[in-house]
Structure 1
Amino acid sequence: MTGLRIATDDASLAEMFDWAVRSATRFVVSDGSHGPLDVSEADAGPHRTADYRASYHAGYRFRSGYYLRDFAHQAVGAQLLGLTRHNAAMLESFVRTATPEHGGWPVWALNFDRITPLAIDYRGPDRFVRELPAVFELVELVHVLYRWTGDRSLLEHQGFWRRTMTDFVAAHDRSFPNGVAEADGPGIFDGAASYNERPAGPLLEAGDAFAAQYAANRHAASLESAIGEHEAAERFAAVAEQLAAVFAREWGAQDRSVGELVSARDAEGGPVREWLKEANWFPPLKGLVDSDHPNRAAVLEHLDRACRDEATAPRNVEALSYVPEVFLRHGRPDTALEWMRTVYDARDAPHEVAAQGRNGDYPEVSFTLVAQIVAGFLGLEPDAAASAVTTRHALPRGVGRLAADHIPFGDGRIGVGVRLDDEVWLENLTSRELAWTPVLARDDGFHDPHLGGRRTADAVRVRPGERRTIPL
């Protein structure tokens, strides 16, 4: 674990961060420990045992493994906490399972030995839990981790992302051919279209898988550029544009003042406008609803209202942990902090799954709060391979100062801080000179922090061991 720490003039934010770091630390699994496999509420034992390998809890803590969906969402927080090696190994463990035997799907959960599929979710190579958004989030995560670490070994997963974005998509775009991957359905063991496991009926396409596929194409394009495969990069970028056009044409709101997008397609291909949680907030999270979207404000306001309404709000705290990120990516830190406090304030309440214990014992809560406070409010856009970093700070009302030290970046660490109406700074504790682009003006547009451009022409050069300060 790193020595990540923050300094701020907001005591409640400091308290939230300290709790999140302490909690996340409890969920780390180290090399060399020994423990049972396939522990779950469905198996009272006795259990086989194995040596555990570097990883961390991602999913229900009372099970003996980690989950693909949770891992994808926790990985940035884990990177900030110094779990770079754990992230790379867990990523590889899932990529390795996306085989022809599994139809190109990665398995849903692995035991802490990083090899054995978790039995409660895996009954055989043609019968295991599959949720479509996770396949594309795993592609995106290859690029996200590359942006933080610059580790070129991550680019060796090229075969995985190419097969996924071409062959896998083609194999799942048959009933309603439009370039959007479909689910086999109807249940999670058949392949589900959405992370939302409680829809009103079987879905062919869902907004969260659609948005994740769109983002994965954009991230795959960047990965190809990193390898120097510029024609492949252009092809993936073109597919992303085609998907965006389909979304704009077929999934838009009937009434732009309301912000109710199409959330899915039913088994017959008809549009579904029902509120489906993840299927509704992934399009703005992943950029299908971006700064140029004609009713972006209404979509965000609808999301905010629906998550506050008792009738439509998610019942599980881990679902709510995505909501702050939507608003952070759209330049609304005040709303983001409100949702972070909602998640944090519920930490001692019982989780909806009784065996899980308290909400705060669900690992996603602590890992995502770390990422939202540090990477979110400081607006970190890393590009370690290019020795470049952009900061696009967006502090919520009431926070006048925020700084973070010992942030793992590339082959070392950086420190970043902002004092409103005064200055911003970056400290370089890596072995290479960094090109730092501080964005000083408030920007409420959409930004994917791992797809930011390399604005090196007007960048500030920060030598190893140097701290540079820019007045506001």
Structure 2
Amino acid sequence: MKRFLLACCLISCSITALSQGAVFTTTDTAVQQAYRWAAGMVQHYRGQPNDAVGPWYEAALPSRNAFCMRDVAHQTIGAAICGLDKENSNMLRAFATHIAEKRDWCSYWEINKFGLPAPEDYRNDREFWYNLNANFDVMFACWKLYRWTGDKSYIQHPAFVHFFDKTVSEYIDQWVLQPDSLFTRPLHPNAPVPFNKQDYFHRCRGLASYVENVPDLKMGVDLIAAIYRGLSSFAAMQTGKGDTAKAALYQRKAEQYREKIDAYWWNASDHRYYTWYNGAGQFGTGEGEMFLLWFDALKDTARSNQTIAHLLAGQWNVETTSYLPVICYQQGYWRQARNYILWLSDPATPRREYPEVSFGVVEGIIRGLMGIEPDAASQRITTLYRGNTADTAAVRGLKVMNTEITVTHTGKQSTFQHSGRQTLLWRAAFAGKHDRIIVQNVSRTASFRTDNNGQIISFIDLKVPAGSIIKAGIK
């Protein structure tokens, strides 16, 4: 209780509370208050410097003083925005380091501040809780963090390379996750002997979904989406290394999983995806659709929009809802994204103190509302303001791609500056179809794309030398 009282006090703190991360300001006072609360909570969940596990932040039930693989994979970008880079690196490396053959190439699902597997989820190497999505989600998180920070250790450190290599090969084989085995695999591969179905350390040692309340679950659509995204991330890493043949091989493997989703999991009568398949050979629906969007596994625009519509029409727990701000912004549902930010940060919202919530709000504002998308692989940073043009919004001191950037959106104009040593590519994007974009008072030809909600986005790529201030806008 004392910790939550302290967190409440942070809401009224000055901008000093945000000094360890990016500083965000906006004339939209409701969003400003949401960011101030969320960034304060992120700092509140930071571990103590002398904790045995090393730099960490809470990414599980707060009472456990621990971090689990799913929550960390979701919270990393929010953490990076708030200056928790050492924590991200240390925690993800802890997961990678503990992958082991004796655990059938699982890691520890949850690690506590003492550097030990959390006893709530682990008894011994044969009896423990583990959601099979986790390895692939961590791979995706590492790839995203490399793109965000420019830190190549996320894709090149030996511990991560070993984790990735084992996950895309032995892990898939050991847990019978090949594309053609998704419906025929055993209900409990690698189960302890003797098997006690009443012991959740037995029946949940290798759950085939993040959704944990389906009896006799054989496969979750969210796991298939996770494998797709994990293998796609692995393929992108190989491209960065110059191994185009290996990259092509694993991208083809990734596509096999994505194709299974559309071929077998779409419920045409209900206009939504099934989310689980059980041991009796039955499909069913429940939670899990969110991860189809989180892992960007839907390429059919009509189906992805129907999935979004179903999610927007439902009521979900705060963990699931915390994914919606950034997803809605990226999918083109900007008004709904802002509504979710305000709901998640509302003191009346039940369980808003769950760590994923504040980290998700921070990411939703900086990556979603401000549209900031760094890509270290191409040395490009995209910005797209998704707020009301009557408002002004700015972020300064944001560390991305081994530099710090300042981005200001004012009306129909965006300003970009960075302090790095090398020239960067800025993709200045604006809502609507605009044939010309004004750059430093010079009119230039724009390019176009369309988001999933059908809105046209106009953009232009600009080279920005270190220290210079570039302005781009529309009429």
Give the TM-score of the pair, scaled to structure 2: 0.82
2:271 aligned residue: 259
Q: 185, 199, 205: which one pairs with 1:190?
A: 205
SS of the residue 1:340 aligns to: helix
Q: Distance in 2 between matches of 1:96 and 1:175?
A: 24
Q: Distance in 2 between matches of 1:116 and 1:181?
A: 35
Structure 1 contact 181–210 (Cα < 8 Å) conserved = no
Structure 1 contact 74–368 (Cα < 8 Å) conserved = yes
2:258 aligned residue: 244
Distance 1:179 1:425, change over 3 A: farther
1:371 aligned residue: 363
* 1:414-448 CA-partner distances (Å, limit 9, x unpaired): 1122223x21121112222111111224466259x
Q: Distance in 1 between matches of 2:252 and 2:295?
A: 17
Q: 427, 434, 451: which one pairs with 1:445?
A: 451
* 1:284-315 CA-partner distances (Å, limit 9, x unpaired): 2322223x3333322211121122xxxxx33x
Say if 2:387 is the partner of 1:389.
Answer: no
SS of the residue 1:62 aligns to: helix
Q: 394, 406, 430: which one pairs with 1:403?
A: 394
Say if 2:415 is the partner of 1:425.
Answer: yes
Structure 1 contact 65–110 (Cα < 8 Å) conserved = yes
SS of the residue 1:468 aligns to: strand
Distance 1:412 1:226, change over 3 A: same
Distance 1:384 1:11, change over 3 A: same
1:38 aligned residue: none
Structure 2 gap ranges (5+) = 1-18, 190-196, 433-448, 454-458
Distance 1:380 1:55, change over 3 A: same
Q: 254, 257, 282: which one pairs with 1:270?
A: 282
Structure 1 contact 151–385 (Cα < 8 Å) conserved = no
Amino acid across the alignment from 1:213: I
1:14 aligned residue: 32
SS of the residue 1:110 aligns to: strand
Mapping 1:25-40, distance limit 5 Å:
25-33=43-51
Amino acid across the alignment from 2:297: L
Q: Distance in 2 between matches of 1:236 and 1:124?
A: 33
Q: 218, 241, 245: which one pairs with 1:231?
A: 245
Q: Distance in 2 between matches of 1:415 and 1:385?
A: 21
Q: 273, 280, 287: which one pairs with 2:296?
A: 287
Give the TM-score of the pair, scaled to structure 1: 0.83
In the TM superposition, what is the alpha-carbon distance from 1:16 to its structure 2 partner?
A: 0.4
SS of the residue 1:391 aligns to: strand
Q: Distance in 2 between matches of 1:387 and 1:176?
A: 34
SS of the residue 1:101 aligns to: helix
Amino acid across the alignment from 2:294: L
Say if 2:162 is the partner of 1:159.
Answer: yes
Percent identity of the aligned residues? Answer: 23
Distance 1:430 1:191, change over 3 A: same
Q: Distance in 2 between matches of 1:158 and 1:233?
A: 15
In the TM superposition, what is the alpha-carbon distance from 1:133 to its structure 2 partner?
A: 1.7
Structure 1 gap ranges (5+) = 34-50, 308-312, 351-358, 448-455
Amino acid across the alignment from 1:435: L
* 1:311-344 CA-partner distances (Å, limit 9, x unpaired): xx33xx2222122233123121111112222222
Q: Distance in 1 between matches of 2:25 and 2:98?
A: 41
RMSD between aligned residues:
2.4
Q: Distance in 2 between matches of 1:384 and 1:176?
A: 31
Q: Distance in 2 between matches of 1:385 and 1:282?
A: 25
Mapping 1:50-61, distance limit 5 Å:
51-61=52-62
Distance 1:181 1:231, change over 3 A: farther
1:47 aligned residue: none
Structure 1 contact 52–112 (Cα < 8 Å) conserved = yes
Distance 1:399 1:164, change over 3 A: farther
Distance 1:181 1:374, change over 3 A: farther
Q: Distance in 2 between matches of 1:213 and 1:367?
A: 24
Q: Distance in 1 between matches of 2:165 and 2:148?
A: 21
Amino acid across the alignment from 2:275: S
1:463 aligned residue: 465
Distance 1:394 1:181, change over 3 A: farther
In the TM superposition, what is the alpha-carbon distance from 1:176 to its structure 2 partner?
A: 8.2
Structure 1 contact 8–399 (Cα < 8 Å) conserved = no
Tell me the matched-pair count.
Answer: 420
Q: Distance in 1 between matches of 2:188 and 2:164?
A: 21
